[in-house]
Amino acid sequence: MEKIKKLKKTDGPDLCVWGSGNLIQTLLKYNLIDQMHIWTYPLTIGTGKKLFAEGTRPERFKQVYAKITTTGVIVATYEPSDPLKAG
């Protein structure tokens, strides 16, 4: 994670992660996500890996973009928001 933190401080292209639930969990844990693009498809398959699985740290995000495609896919972009206050 230290190498990723250092890399994020450099002037370069955006870093993108596609479909890695394990890496996303680690990036969330260390507050290394600037934006999430989440595509929600109008179907259920019953099994599979969860993006926000057990152990995901509670966090607050704000929606900065949303669109529904002609096939019903919801494309939404989120950015970190104010800290979540546990209570």
| Residue 20 · residue 53 · CB < 8 Å | no
Q: State how far the Cα of 86 lies from the Cα of 39, in Å rounded to an integer.
A: 28
Is 2-80 CATH 3.20.20.140? Answer: no
pLDDT, averaged in runs of 10, over the chain (87 residues): 87 80 82 89 84 79 97 95 77
| Strand, helix or coil for residue 79 | strand
pLDDT value of position 87: 66
pTM: 0.78
**Contact present, 48 and 40 (Cβ < 8 Å):** no
For the chain, domain boundaries? 2-80
Residues near 49 by Cβ (< 8 Å), separated by ≥ 6? 21
